Structure 1
Amino acid sequence: MSLFIASLNSGSNGNCYYVGNGQEAILVDAGISCRETERRMSRLGLSMQTVKAIFVSHEHTDHISGIPVLAKKYQLPVYITEATHYHGNLSIQKEQVFAFKAYEPVQVGSLAIQAFPKKHDAAEPHSFIVNGNNVNIGVFTDIGSACDHVIMHFKHCHAAFLEANYDEEMLEKGSYPRHLKNRIRGGHGHLSNKQALEVFTKHKPAYMSHLFLSHLSRDNNSPQLVQQLFNEHANGTEIIVASRFEETAVYRVQATQDAVPAGLPVKTEMQVKFRPSYTQLRLW
Protein backbone atom coordinates (compact mmCIF):
# COMPACT_ATOMS: atom_id res chain seq x y z
CA MET A 1 0.00 0.00 0.00
CA SER A 2 1.88 3.06 -1.22
CA LEU A 3 1.91 6.32 -3.18
CA PHE A 4 4.67 7.79 -5.36
CA ILE A 5 5.65 11.44 -5.04
CA ALA A 6 8.11 13.87 -6.60
CA SER A 7 8.77 17.57 -6.93
CA LEU A 8 9.13 18.56 -10.56
CA ASN A 9 10.21 22.08 -9.54
CA SER A 10 9.93 24.12 -6.37
CA GLY A 11 10.61 27.83 -6.04
CA SER A 12 9.50 31.25 -7.21
CA ASN A 13 10.53 30.29 -10.75
CA GLY A 14 7.90 27.54 -10.84
CA ASN A 15 6.16 24.95 -8.68
CA CYS A 16 4.80 21.55 -9.61
CA TYR A 17 4.30 18.50 -7.40
CA TYR A 18 3.41 14.95 -8.48
CA VAL A 19 1.40 12.45 -6.42
CA GLY A 20 0.31 9.12 -7.89
CA ASN A 21 -0.43 5.48 -7.18
CA GLY A 22 1.16 3.88 -10.24
CA GLN A 23 -1.98 3.93 -12.38
CA GLU A 24 -3.25 7.45 -11.88
CA ALA A 25 -1.80 10.69 -10.59
CA ILE A 26 -2.45 14.38 -10.03
CA LEU A 27 -0.32 17.50 -10.20
CA VAL A 28 -0.57 20.14 -7.52
CA ASP A 29 0.14 23.39 -9.39
CA ALA A 30 1.83 23.62 -12.79
CA GLY A 31 4.13 26.62 -12.76
CA ILE A 32 6.67 25.33 -15.29
CA SER A 33 6.05 24.96 -19.01
CA CYS A 34 4.26 21.99 -20.51
CA ARG A 35 7.43 20.98 -22.35
CA GLU A 36 9.54 21.14 -19.20
CA THR A 37 6.91 19.21 -17.24
CA GLU A 38 6.98 16.50 -19.90
CA ARG A 39 10.79 16.38 -19.90
CA ARG A 40 11.04 16.04 -16.16
CA MET A 41 8.29 13.45 -15.98
CA SER A 42 10.03 11.45 -18.71
CA ARG A 43 13.39 11.58 -16.96
CA LEU A 44 11.70 10.17 -13.86
CA GLY A 45 10.04 7.38 -15.82
CA LEU A 46 6.59 8.87 -15.22
CA SER A 47 3.94 9.05 -17.91
CA MET A 48 1.78 12.12 -18.48
CA GLN A 49 -0.95 9.69 -19.49
CA THR A 50 -1.39 8.74 -15.84
CA VAL A 51 -2.01 12.36 -14.81
CA LYS A 52 -5.76 12.81 -14.44
CA ALA A 53 -6.10 16.34 -12.99
CA ILE A 54 -4.36 19.53 -11.89
CA PHE A 55 -5.16 21.13 -8.53
CA VAL A 56 -4.36 24.84 -8.14
CA SER A 57 -3.30 26.31 -4.82
CA HIS A 58 -3.48 30.01 -5.80
CA GLU A 59 -3.12 32.38 -8.74
CA HIS A 60 0.52 33.50 -8.57
CA THR A 61 2.31 32.89 -11.85
CA ASP A 62 4.90 30.50 -10.42
CA HIS A 63 2.00 28.11 -9.71
CA ILE A 64 -0.16 28.46 -12.83
CA SER A 65 1.92 29.50 -15.85
CA GLY A 66 2.05 26.01 -17.37
CA ILE A 67 -1.61 25.16 -16.87
CA PRO A 68 -3.25 26.45 -20.09
CA VAL A 69 -1.01 24.46 -22.46
CA LEU A 70 -0.80 21.39 -20.23
CA ALA A 71 -4.55 21.24 -19.66
CA LYS A 72 -5.34 21.74 -23.35
CA LYS A 73 -2.82 19.19 -24.64
CA TYR A 74 -3.85 16.42 -22.25
CA GLN A 75 -7.49 17.48 -21.76
CA LEU A 76 -7.01 17.63 -18.01
CA PRO A 77 -9.63 18.87 -15.58
CA VAL A 78 -8.36 21.83 -13.56
CA TYR A 79 -9.63 22.06 -9.99
CA ILE A 80 -9.54 25.69 -8.92
CA THR A 81 -11.63 28.06 -6.82
CA GLU A 82 -13.67 30.74 -8.52
CA ALA A 83 -11.62 33.60 -7.06
CA THR A 84 -8.32 31.98 -8.00
CA HIS A 85 -9.55 31.38 -11.55
CA TYR A 86 -10.70 34.99 -11.87
CA HIS A 87 -7.54 36.59 -10.48
CA GLY A 88 -5.25 34.19 -12.34
CA ASN A 89 -6.90 35.13 -15.64
CA LEU A 90 -6.34 31.61 -16.90
CA SER A 91 -7.30 30.69 -20.44
CA ILE A 92 -8.92 27.29 -19.94
CA GLN A 93 -11.95 25.75 -21.63
CA LYS A 94 -15.01 26.06 -19.39
CA GLU A 95 -15.68 22.34 -19.51
CA GLN A 96 -12.23 21.71 -18.01
CA VAL A 97 -12.73 23.99 -15.00
CA PHE A 98 -14.00 22.43 -11.79
CA ALA A 99 -14.52 24.28 -8.52
CA PHE A 100 -13.53 22.84 -5.18
CA LYS A 101 -14.33 23.86 -1.64
CA ALA A 102 -12.34 23.52 1.55
CA TYR A 103 -12.89 20.24 3.40
CA GLU A 104 -14.96 18.72 0.58
CA PRO A 105 -12.84 15.87 -0.84
CA VAL A 106 -12.55 15.48 -4.61
CA GLN A 107 -12.24 11.93 -5.91
CA VAL A 108 -9.88 11.35 -8.85
CA GLY A 109 -9.89 7.63 -9.49
CA SER A 110 -8.80 6.08 -6.22
CA LEU A 111 -7.15 9.28 -5.01
CA ALA A 112 -9.02 11.63 -2.69
CA ILE A 113 -7.85 15.24 -2.61
CA GLN A 114 -8.92 17.59 0.15
CA ALA A 115 -8.20 21.31 0.14
CA PHE A 116 -8.01 23.57 3.16
CA PRO A 117 -7.41 27.33 3.49
CA LYS A 118 -4.02 28.82 4.25
CA LYS A 119 -2.54 32.24 4.98
CA HIS A 120 -0.92 33.70 1.89
CA ASP A 121 -1.00 36.91 -0.12
CA ALA A 122 -3.47 35.67 -2.73
CA ALA A 123 -7.19 35.79 -3.47
CA GLU A 124 -8.31 32.42 -2.11
CA PRO A 125 -5.25 30.26 -1.32
CA HIS A 126 -5.46 26.59 -0.35
CA SER A 127 -3.15 23.74 0.55
CA PHE A 128 -3.92 20.09 -0.14
CA ILE A 129 -3.75 16.63 1.34
CA VAL A 130 -3.91 13.65 -1.01
CA ASN A 131 -5.12 10.28 0.26
CA GLY A 132 -4.71 6.94 -1.49
CA ASN A 133 -3.72 3.38 -0.63
CA ASN A 134 -4.01 4.23 3.07
CA VAL A 135 -1.35 6.96 2.69
CA ASN A 136 -1.65 10.73 3.18
CA ILE A 137 0.57 13.19 1.30
CA GLY A 138 0.47 16.89 2.25
CA VAL A 139 1.38 19.86 0.06
CA PHE A 140 2.03 22.83 2.36
CA THR A 141 3.79 25.66 0.53
CA ASP A 142 3.29 29.44 0.22
CA ILE A 143 2.23 29.69 3.85
CA GLY A 144 2.53 32.90 5.84
CA SER A 145 2.18 31.12 9.16
CA ALA A 146 1.37 27.66 10.43
CA CYS A 147 -2.30 28.07 11.32
CA ASP A 148 -4.48 25.39 12.88
CA HIS A 149 -5.49 24.09 9.43
CA VAL A 150 -1.87 23.37 8.50
CA ILE A 151 -1.02 21.78 11.82
CA MET A 152 -4.07 19.53 11.86
CA HIS A 153 -3.33 18.19 8.38
CA PHE A 154 0.42 17.86 8.94
CA LYS A 155 -0.26 15.55 11.88
CA HIS A 156 -1.90 13.06 9.50
CA CYS A 157 0.81 12.88 6.82
CA HIS A 158 3.03 9.95 5.89
CA ALA A 159 4.99 12.43 3.75
CA ALA A 160 4.75 16.13 3.04
CA PHE A 161 6.02 18.99 0.93
CA LEU A 162 6.64 21.70 3.53
CA GLU A 163 7.76 25.23 2.75
CA ALA A 164 11.08 26.38 4.19
CA ASN A 165 11.42 29.60 2.24
CA TYR A 166 13.96 31.75 4.05
CA ASP A 167 16.58 31.94 6.74
CA GLU A 168 15.65 34.81 9.05
CA GLU A 169 19.18 36.21 9.30
CA MET A 170 19.81 35.99 5.57
CA LEU A 171 16.54 37.81 4.85
CA GLU A 172 17.27 40.55 7.39
CA LYS A 173 20.82 41.15 6.12
CA GLY A 174 19.92 40.74 2.45
CA SER A 175 19.33 43.33 -0.26
CA TYR A 176 15.53 43.24 -0.38
CA PRO A 177 13.78 46.53 0.42
CA ARG A 178 12.29 46.71 3.90
CA HIS A 179 8.67 46.60 2.72
CA LEU A 180 9.29 43.34 0.83
CA LYS A 181 11.10 41.77 3.78
CA ASN A 182 8.14 42.65 5.97
CA ARG A 183 5.64 41.16 3.52
CA ILE A 184 7.60 37.91 3.24
CA ARG A 185 7.74 37.45 7.02
CA GLY A 186 4.55 39.28 7.89
CA GLY A 187 2.12 36.37 8.29
CA HIS A 188 0.74 36.21 4.73
CA GLY A 189 3.99 35.62 2.87
CA HIS A 190 6.20 32.59 3.39
CA LEU A 191 7.33 30.21 6.10
CA SER A 192 10.88 30.56 7.46
CA ASN A 193 13.24 27.68 8.15
CA LYS A 194 12.66 28.19 11.87
CA GLN A 195 8.87 28.17 11.51
CA ALA A 196 8.96 25.08 9.29
CA LEU A 197 11.24 23.27 11.72
CA GLU A 198 8.82 24.03 14.56
CA VAL A 199 5.97 22.49 12.59
CA PHE A 200 8.12 19.44 11.89
CA THR A 201 9.47 18.85 15.37
CA LYS A 202 6.25 19.56 17.24
CA HIS A 203 3.65 18.02 14.98
CA LYS A 204 5.07 15.31 12.73
CA PRO A 205 3.57 11.86 13.29
CA ALA A 206 5.95 9.05 14.19
CA TYR A 207 5.22 7.36 10.86
CA MET A 208 6.22 10.32 8.62
CA SER A 209 8.79 8.77 6.30
CA HIS A 210 9.64 11.68 3.94
CA LEU A 211 9.74 15.46 4.18
CA PHE A 212 10.37 17.61 1.10
CA LEU A 213 11.65 21.06 2.06
CA SER A 214 10.05 23.24 -0.58
CA HIS A 215 9.90 26.72 -2.15
CA LEU A 216 13.37 27.77 -0.94
CA SER A 217 14.24 31.38 -1.68
CA ARG A 218 17.04 31.91 -4.19
CA ASP A 219 18.50 34.85 -2.26
CA ASN A 220 17.47 34.25 1.35
CA ASN A 221 18.17 30.58 1.93
CA SER A 222 20.71 27.84 1.32
CA PRO A 223 19.89 24.22 0.45
CA GLN A 224 22.89 23.06 2.46
CA LEU A 225 21.91 25.14 5.48
CA VAL A 226 18.32 23.92 5.62
CA GLN A 227 19.28 20.30 4.88
CA GLN A 228 21.68 20.29 7.82
CA LEU A 229 19.16 22.01 10.09
CA PHE A 230 16.45 19.44 9.46
CA ASN A 231 18.78 16.43 9.40
CA GLU A 232 19.66 17.20 13.01
CA HIS A 233 16.00 16.71 13.95
CA ALA A 234 14.96 14.09 11.37
CA ASN A 235 14.52 11.24 13.83
CA GLY A 236 13.97 8.64 11.12
CA THR A 237 12.32 10.88 8.51
CA GLU A 238 14.18 11.22 5.20
CA ILE A 239 14.75 14.90 4.43
CA ILE A 240 14.80 15.96 0.77
CA VAL A 241 15.42 19.52 -0.42
CA ALA A 242 13.21 20.21 -3.45
CA SER A 243 15.21 22.11 -6.05
CA ARG A 244 14.28 25.23 -8.01
CA PHE A 245 16.40 23.93 -10.92
CA GLU A 246 15.48 20.28 -11.40
CA GLU A 247 13.18 17.48 -10.38
CA THR A 248 13.74 15.29 -7.33
CA ALA A 249 13.76 11.54 -7.54
CA VAL A 250 10.46 9.68 -7.22
CA TYR A 251 9.89 8.46 -3.68
CA ARG A 252 7.67 5.59 -2.63
CA VAL A 253 5.69 6.33 0.51
CA GLN A 254 4.19 3.35 2.27
CA ALA A 255 1.71 2.93 5.08
CA THR A 256 3.45 1.24 7.98
CA GLN A 257 1.96 -1.25 10.36
CA ASP A 258 2.33 1.11 13.32
CA ALA A 259 0.64 4.00 11.53
CA VAL A 260 -2.88 5.08 12.30
CA PRO A 261 -5.13 4.06 9.37
CA ALA A 262 -5.06 7.05 7.05
CA GLY A 263 -8.12 9.05 6.24
CA LEU A 264 -8.70 12.68 5.46
CA PRO A 265 -8.89 15.00 8.47
CA VAL A 266 -12.40 16.02 9.46
CA LYS A 267 -13.34 19.69 9.51
CA THR A 268 -13.68 21.16 12.99
CA GLU A 269 -15.33 24.34 14.19
CA MET A 270 -12.05 26.26 14.07
CA GLN A 271 -12.55 29.83 12.96
CA VAL A 272 -9.34 31.13 11.42
CA LYS A 273 -9.69 34.48 9.70
CA PHE A 274 -7.81 35.18 6.51
CA ARG A 275 -7.24 38.67 5.12
CA PRO A 276 -7.11 38.36 1.33
CA SER A 277 -4.81 40.49 -0.75
CA TYR A 278 -4.71 40.38 -4.51
CA THR A 279 -1.20 41.73 -5.06
CA GLN A 280 1.12 39.51 -7.07
CA LEU A 281 4.40 39.10 -5.17
CA ARG A 282 7.62 37.78 -6.64
CA LEU A 283 9.34 36.36 -3.58
CA TRP A 284 12.69 34.90 -4.53
Structure 2
Amino acid sequence: MSLYIAALNSGSNGNCYYVGNEHEAVLIDVGISCREVERRMARLGLQMTKVKAIFISHEHSDHISGLAVLCRKYKLPVYITPGTMLHGRLMLDCVMNFTEHQPVAIGSLTVTAFTKLHDAAEPHSFIVADRNITIGVFTDLGAVCSNLTKYFKLCHAAFLEANYDEQMLDSGRYPYFLKRRIRGGKGHLSNAQALQLFIEHKPSFMSHLLLSHLSKDNNSPELALELFNQHAGDVHVAVASRYVETAVYRVDGNKGAHHSILQSAQMALAL
Protein backbone atom coordinates (compact mmCIF):
# COMPACT_ATOMS: atom_id res chain seq x y z
CA MET A 1 0.00 0.00 0.00
CA SER A 2 1.31 3.43 -0.96
CA LEU A 3 0.29 7.04 -0.85
CA TYR A 4 1.22 9.49 -3.60
CA ILE A 5 1.98 13.11 -2.80
CA ALA A 6 2.73 16.29 -4.73
CA ALA A 7 2.69 20.02 -4.16
CA LEU A 8 0.91 21.67 -7.08
CA ASN A 9 2.16 25.04 -5.76
CA SER A 10 3.61 26.21 -2.47
CA GLY A 11 4.17 29.81 -1.44
CA SER A 12 2.51 33.13 -0.76
CA ASN A 13 1.34 33.17 -4.40
CA GLY A 14 -0.73 30.01 -3.91
CA ASN A 15 -0.86 26.69 -2.09
CA CYS A 16 -2.32 23.36 -3.17
CA TYR A 17 -1.26 19.89 -2.03
CA TYR A 18 -2.29 16.48 -3.39
CA VAL A 19 -2.42 13.28 -1.31
CA GLY A 20 -3.97 10.08 -2.62
CA ASN A 21 -3.85 6.34 -3.06
CA GLU A 22 -4.67 4.25 -6.13
CA HIS A 23 -8.42 4.94 -5.85
CA GLU A 24 -9.08 8.31 -4.23
CA ALA A 25 -7.32 11.52 -3.30
CA VAL A 26 -7.83 14.81 -1.50
CA LEU A 27 -6.56 18.32 -2.09
CA ILE A 28 -5.40 20.41 0.84
CA ASP A 29 -6.12 24.06 -0.05
CA VAL A 30 -6.76 25.49 -3.51
CA GLY A 31 -4.84 28.74 -3.74
CA ILE A 32 -4.23 28.53 -7.50
CA SER A 33 -6.79 28.70 -10.28
CA CYS A 34 -8.91 25.75 -11.34
CA ARG A 35 -7.15 25.80 -14.71
CA GLU A 36 -3.72 25.64 -13.10
CA VAL A 37 -4.80 22.76 -10.85
CA GLU A 38 -5.96 20.88 -13.94
CA ARG A 39 -2.82 21.66 -15.94
CA ARG A 40 -0.40 20.71 -13.21
CA MET A 41 -2.19 17.50 -12.30
CA ALA A 42 -2.33 16.53 -15.98
CA ARG A 43 1.42 17.09 -16.36
CA LEU A 44 1.94 14.75 -13.39
CA GLY A 45 -0.43 12.09 -14.69
CA LEU A 46 -2.84 12.66 -11.79
CA GLN A 47 -6.56 12.38 -12.47
CA MET A 48 -9.11 14.88 -11.15
CA THR A 49 -11.71 12.10 -11.13
CA LYS A 50 -9.85 10.55 -8.19
CA VAL A 51 -10.08 13.72 -6.10
CA LYS A 52 -13.02 13.14 -3.76
CA ALA A 53 -12.79 16.12 -1.38
CA ILE A 54 -11.02 19.38 -0.59
CA PHE A 55 -9.86 20.44 2.88
CA ILE A 56 -9.22 24.11 3.63
CA SER A 57 -6.71 25.19 6.28
CA HIS A 58 -7.70 28.87 6.58
CA GLU A 59 -9.15 31.82 4.69
CA HIS A 60 -6.07 33.63 3.34
CA SER A 61 -6.29 34.12 -0.41
CA ASP A 62 -3.22 32.03 -1.21
CA HIS A 63 -5.16 29.03 0.13
CA ILE A 64 -8.64 29.59 -1.31
CA SER A 65 -8.43 31.70 -4.49
CA GLY A 66 -9.29 28.83 -6.85
CA LEU A 67 -11.61 26.98 -4.52
CA ALA A 68 -15.07 28.13 -5.61
CA VAL A 69 -14.54 27.40 -9.31
CA LEU A 70 -12.88 24.02 -8.74
CA CYS A 71 -15.48 22.68 -6.32
CA ARG A 72 -18.34 23.92 -8.51
CA LYS A 73 -16.91 22.39 -11.69
CA TYR A 74 -16.21 18.98 -10.16
CA LYS A 75 -19.00 19.02 -7.53
CA LEU A 76 -16.55 18.29 -4.75
CA PRO A 77 -17.36 18.52 -1.05
CA VAL A 78 -15.32 21.14 0.78
CA TYR A 79 -14.37 20.49 4.40
CA ILE A 80 -14.06 23.88 6.03
CA THR A 81 -14.89 25.54 9.35
CA PRO A 82 -17.69 28.12 9.68
CA GLY A 83 -15.20 30.82 10.69
CA THR A 84 -13.07 30.18 7.62
CA MET A 85 -16.17 30.33 5.42
CA LEU A 86 -17.23 33.63 6.97
CA HIS A 87 -13.88 35.38 6.88
CA GLY A 88 -13.08 34.04 3.43
CA ARG A 89 -16.43 35.39 2.14
CA LEU A 90 -16.97 32.09 0.37
CA MET A 91 -20.12 30.91 -1.38
CA LEU A 92 -19.82 27.16 -1.87
CA ASP A 93 -22.27 24.50 -2.99
CA CYS A 94 -21.27 21.53 -0.84
CA VAL A 95 -19.89 22.45 2.55
CA MET A 96 -18.87 19.91 5.16
CA ASN A 97 -17.58 20.64 8.64
CA PHE A 98 -14.76 18.93 10.45
CA THR A 99 -13.81 18.72 14.12
CA GLU A 100 -10.30 18.91 15.49
CA HIS A 101 -8.66 15.52 16.15
CA GLN A 102 -11.62 13.59 14.68
CA PRO A 103 -10.74 11.68 11.48
CA VAL A 104 -12.90 12.19 8.38
CA ALA A 105 -13.17 9.17 6.09
CA ILE A 106 -12.73 9.78 2.35
CA GLY A 107 -12.88 6.27 0.93
CA SER A 108 -10.02 4.43 2.59
CA LEU A 109 -8.25 7.71 3.39
CA THR A 110 -8.72 9.44 6.71
CA VAL A 111 -8.06 13.16 7.15
CA THR A 112 -7.52 14.56 10.63
CA ALA A 113 -7.37 18.28 11.40
CA PHE A 114 -5.74 20.07 14.30
CA THR A 115 -5.51 23.72 15.28
CA LYS A 116 -2.30 25.66 14.71
CA LEU A 117 -0.88 29.09 15.50
CA HIS A 118 -1.55 31.47 12.61
CA ASP A 119 -3.22 34.85 12.19
CA ALA A 120 -6.46 33.54 10.73
CA ALA A 121 -9.96 32.92 12.07
CA GLU A 122 -9.84 29.16 12.65
CA PRO A 123 -6.53 27.87 11.25
CA HIS A 124 -5.89 24.13 10.97
CA SER A 125 -3.29 21.73 9.64
CA PHE A 126 -3.98 18.18 8.47
CA ILE A 127 -2.66 14.66 8.35
CA VAL A 128 -3.87 12.23 5.69
CA ALA A 129 -3.57 8.51 6.38
CA ASP A 130 -4.32 5.21 4.69
CA ARG A 131 -3.91 2.34 7.07
CA ASN A 132 -0.28 2.47 8.22
CA ILE A 133 0.99 5.37 6.05
CA THR A 134 0.57 8.99 7.21
CA ILE A 135 1.27 12.26 5.39
CA GLY A 136 1.35 15.67 7.07
CA VAL A 137 0.56 19.05 5.51
CA PHE A 138 2.03 21.61 7.90
CA THR A 139 2.31 25.18 6.61
CA ASP A 140 1.45 28.71 7.83
CA LEU A 141 2.75 28.01 11.30
CA GLY A 142 3.53 30.83 13.68
CA ALA A 143 5.37 28.54 16.07
CA VAL A 144 5.90 24.89 16.90
CA CYS A 145 3.10 23.86 19.27
CA SER A 146 2.20 20.61 21.03
CA ASN A 147 -0.34 19.73 18.33
CA LEU A 148 2.29 20.05 15.62
CA THR A 149 4.88 17.91 17.40
CA LYS A 150 2.24 15.27 18.21
CA TYR A 151 1.20 14.83 14.58
CA PHE A 152 4.65 15.33 13.06
CA LYS A 153 5.82 12.26 14.97
CA LEU A 154 3.25 10.15 13.08
CA CYS A 155 4.34 11.09 9.57
CA HIS A 156 6.07 8.95 6.97
CA ALA A 157 6.25 12.10 4.84
CA ALA A 158 5.40 15.74 5.43
CA PHE A 159 5.07 19.08 3.75
CA LEU A 160 6.71 21.34 6.33
CA GLU A 161 6.90 25.11 6.21
CA ALA A 162 10.39 26.63 6.11
CA ASN A 163 9.34 30.16 5.28
CA TYR A 164 12.28 32.42 6.03
CA ASP A 165 15.92 32.67 6.95
CA GLU A 166 16.24 34.91 10.01
CA GLN A 167 19.26 36.84 8.71
CA MET A 168 17.66 37.44 5.32
CA LEU A 169 14.47 38.68 6.99
CA ASP A 170 16.43 41.01 9.29
CA SER A 171 18.43 42.57 6.47
CA GLY A 172 15.66 42.52 3.87
CA ARG A 173 13.40 45.23 2.48
CA TYR A 174 10.23 44.32 4.39
CA PRO A 175 8.87 47.06 6.69
CA TYR A 176 9.19 46.51 10.42
CA PHE A 177 5.49 45.73 10.98
CA LEU A 178 5.60 42.94 8.39
CA LYS A 179 8.79 41.46 9.80
CA ARG A 180 7.14 41.50 13.21
CA ARG A 181 4.04 39.79 11.84
CA ILE A 182 6.07 37.03 10.14
CA ARG A 183 8.07 36.12 13.24
CA GLY A 184 5.48 37.16 15.82
CA GLY A 185 4.20 33.73 16.88
CA LYS A 186 1.20 33.63 14.54
CA GLY A 187 2.96 34.22 11.25
CA HIS A 188 5.37 31.75 9.68
CA LEU A 189 8.00 29.21 10.64
CA SER A 190 11.67 29.99 10.05
CA ASN A 191 14.23 27.58 8.65
CA ALA A 192 15.73 27.25 12.12
CA GLN A 193 12.39 26.52 13.80
CA ALA A 194 11.44 23.95 11.17
CA LEU A 195 14.85 22.31 11.41
CA GLN A 196 14.59 22.06 15.19
CA LEU A 197 11.21 20.33 14.85
CA PHE A 198 12.71 17.96 12.28
CA ILE A 199 15.77 17.10 14.37
CA GLU A 200 13.94 16.67 17.66
CA HIS A 201 10.71 14.98 16.54
CA LYS A 202 11.40 13.20 13.23
CA PRO A 203 10.13 9.63 13.49
CA SER A 204 12.52 6.84 12.55
CA PHE A 205 10.24 5.77 9.70
CA MET A 206 10.03 9.17 7.96
CA SER A 207 11.16 8.87 4.32
CA HIS A 208 10.27 12.22 2.70
CA LEU A 209 10.27 15.87 3.76
CA LEU A 210 9.08 18.57 1.36
CA LEU A 211 10.08 22.04 2.50
CA SER A 212 7.12 24.29 1.79
CA HIS A 213 5.86 27.89 1.65
CA LEU A 214 9.34 29.36 1.19
CA SER A 215 9.44 33.15 1.04
CA LYS A 216 10.46 34.63 -2.30
CA ASP A 217 12.38 37.47 -0.62
CA ASN A 218 13.55 36.06 2.71
CA ASN A 219 14.69 32.56 1.81
CA SER A 220 16.14 30.54 -1.03
CA PRO A 221 15.57 26.90 -2.01
CA GLU A 222 19.31 26.29 -2.08
CA LEU A 223 19.82 27.68 1.41
CA ALA A 224 16.96 25.71 2.96
CA LEU A 225 17.90 22.48 1.20
CA GLU A 226 21.55 22.72 2.21
CA LEU A 227 20.59 23.36 5.82
CA PHE A 228 18.22 20.39 6.07
CA ASN A 229 20.42 17.98 4.12
CA GLN A 230 23.10 18.36 6.78
CA HIS A 231 20.70 16.65 9.20
CA ALA A 232 18.53 14.56 6.85
CA GLY A 233 20.22 11.19 7.19
CA ASP A 234 18.24 8.79 5.01
CA VAL A 235 15.24 11.13 4.70
CA HIS A 236 14.79 12.49 1.17
CA VAL A 237 14.44 16.29 1.39
CA ALA A 238 13.06 18.37 -1.49
CA VAL A 239 11.70 21.88 -1.90
CA ALA A 240 8.10 22.54 -2.96
CA SER A 241 8.24 25.38 -5.48
CA ARG A 242 6.20 28.57 -5.71
CA TYR A 243 6.46 28.43 -9.50
CA VAL A 244 5.82 24.85 -10.61
CA GLU A 245 4.51 21.55 -9.32
CA THR A 246 6.82 19.06 -7.63
CA ALA A 247 7.26 15.52 -8.84
CA VAL A 248 4.87 12.91 -7.50
CA TYR A 249 6.46 10.95 -4.67
CA ARG A 250 5.42 7.46 -3.66
CA VAL A 251 5.41 6.94 0.10
CA ASP A 252 5.14 3.30 1.12
CA GLY A 253 7.06 3.02 4.37
CA ASN A 254 10.22 1.90 2.57
CA LYS A 255 12.90 4.44 3.40
CA GLY A 256 14.99 3.31 0.44
CA ALA A 257 12.32 4.38 -2.07
CA HIS A 258 13.24 8.05 -2.42
CA HIS A 259 12.68 8.36 -6.15
CA SER A 260 9.79 10.25 -7.66
CA ILE A 261 7.49 8.52 -10.10
CA LEU A 262 7.15 11.47 -12.47
CA GLN A 263 9.39 9.85 -15.07
CA SER A 264 7.45 6.58 -15.14
CA ALA A 265 4.65 6.89 -17.68
CA GLN A 266 3.21 3.52 -16.76
CA MET A 267 3.00 4.43 -13.08
CA ALA A 268 1.60 7.89 -13.85
CA LEU A 269 -1.23 6.36 -15.86
CA ALA A 270 -2.00 4.06 -12.94
CA LEU A 271 -2.69 7.07 -10.76
Could you state the TM-score of these two structures normalised by the residue count of structure 1? 0.89
Offset of residue 187 of structure 1: 0.3
Query: CA shift at 1:256, angstroms?
Result: 4.4
8 A Cα contact 1:130 1:138, kept in partner: yes
Aligned residue among 190, 193, 208 for 1:192: 190
Q: What is the identity, as a one-letter code, of the residue corresponding to 2:19?
A: V
Identity over aligned residues, as a percent?
65
Which secondary structure does the structure 1 equivalent of 2:150 belong to? Answer: helix
The answer for the alignment partner of 2:236 in structure 1 is: 238
Residue in structure 1 matched with residue 262 of structure 2 by the alignment: none
Task: Spell out structure 1 runs of 4+ moving beyond 3 A.
Answer: none
Partner deviation per Cα, 1:198-238 (whole Å, 9 max, x = no partner): 00011000110000000000000000000100011101000
The one-letter amino acid paired with 1:177 is P
- Ranges in structure 2 where 5+ consecutive residues have no aligned partner: 256-271
**2:268 match:** none
Q: Which residue of 1 aligns with 2:68?
A: 68
Q: Conserved in 2, the CA contact under 8 Å of 1:231 and 1:239?
A: yes
Is 2:9–2:245's contact at 8 Å kept on the other side of the alignment? Answer: yes
Task: Look up the match of 1:41.
Answer: 41
Match of 2:132 among 109, 131, 134: 134
Deviations 1:14-38 (A, max 9, x none): 0000000021000000000000000
Find the partner of 1:106 among 79, 104, 107: 104
Q: Unmatched 5+ residue regions in structure 1?
A: 258-284
Give the secondary-structure state (helix, strand or coil) at the position aligned to 1:46: coil
Task: Describe how 1:255-270 pairs up with structure 2 within 5 A.
Answer: 255-256=253-254
- Tell me how far 1:3 sits from its aligned partner: 0.3
Q: Distance in 1 between matches of 2:62 and 2:22?
A: 27
Aligned with residue 224 of structure 1, among 195, 201, 222: 222
Describe the SS at the equivalent of 1:6: strand
Query: Counterpart of 1:181 in 2: which secondary structure?
Result: helix
Q: Counterpart amino acid of 1:8? A: L
SS in 2 for 1:83: helix
Question: Any idea what SS the aligned residue of 1:42 has?
Answer: helix
Deviation of 1:101 (Å): 1.0
CA contact (8 A) 2:207 2:253 kept: no
CA contact 1:3–1:254 (8 Å) conserved in 2: yes
Counterparts of residues 204-215 of structure 1 (less than 5 Å): 204-215=202-213
Q: 2 CA distance for matches of 1:163 and 1:22?
A: 27
Tell me which residue corresponds to 1:267: none
Alignment-derived partner of residue 15 in structure 1:
15
The equivalent of 2:201 in structure 1 is 203
Distance 1:254 1:204 in 2: 17
Whether the aligned pair in 2 keeps the contact of 1:2 and 1:133 (CA below 8 Å) is no
Separation of aligned partners in 1, 2:150 and 2:132 = 18
Tell me, in whole angstroms, the C-alpha distance in 2 between the residues paired with 1:256 and 1:156: 15
Secondary structure at 2:117 match in 1: coil
* TM-aligned CA deviation for residue 255 of structure 1: 2.4
Contact 1:164–1:196 under 8 Å retained in 2:
yes
Cα distance between partner residues in 1 of 2:243 and 2:215 = 12
Quote the offset at 1:133 in angstroms: 3.7
8 Å CA contact 1:3–1:133 kept in 2: the answer is no
Displacement after TM superposition at 1:2 (Å): 1.1
Map of 2:258 onto structure 1: none
